[in-house]
Amino acid sequence: LNEIEAKAIATSEAWGIETTKFYDTNEANQIENLLNKRADVACFRIGGGGGKGKKRSNPTRTRFVFTNPDLGLDDTTANADYCRVLRVSNIDLGNVDPWGNVLTSIGVDLDMIGDVVVVDGLLVYLVVDPDVVKTCVRLLPKVLPGSGVTVEELEE
């Protein structure tokens, strides 16, 4: 926690913007409790989705965006700029390896992945760091079972 707090303070003092990896709920709660007490750091806990003032309810893996409070960054903008949501369609979910294995097999570090949400056994939504969108869109259809697997980035 001390390292994360130091990173947040240094980012604020430099008038920069920095992000963290995705954390599970317990770790994220500890970070949020620590940094919400500081007036000199703007700290946004983001988990993907939403946009235009809407957020996904209760993401289990979230990340943080740190900056100086006087830069005027808001929660909606932080979420839109530093998380992306991918929709994966036409998957044979009965034959999919665990998502951690699938993602590491295409070179995506799991620290860059938020929630993986399966909807009605038909679609999968992935919350990801913007830096891995291109890799996921290009390579997931090649490694996932199913006919005509598609991966697309959802627009805000």
**β partners of residue 98:** none
Residue 51 scores a pLDDT above 50 = no
pLDDT at 122: 82
pTM, to two decimals: 0.89
d(C-alpha 85, C-alpha 128), whole Å: 6
156: confidence class by pLDDT, cuts 50, 70, 90: low
pLDDT tens digits, one per residue of 135-150: 999 999 999 999 999 9
Query: What are the structural domains of the chain?
Result: 2-82 (no CATH), 84-153 (3.30.70)
pLDDT average, residue stretch 34-52: 83
Average pLDDT, the chain: 92
The tens digit of pLDDT for each residue in 68-111 reads: 999 999 999 999 999 999 999 999 999 999 999 999 999 999 99
- What's the burial of 21, exposed, middle or buried (CB within 10 Å: 0-12/13-18/19+)? middle
d(CA 88, CA 118): 9
CA distance 143 to 63: 27
Examine the pLDDT at 53 and tell me if it is beyond 60.
no
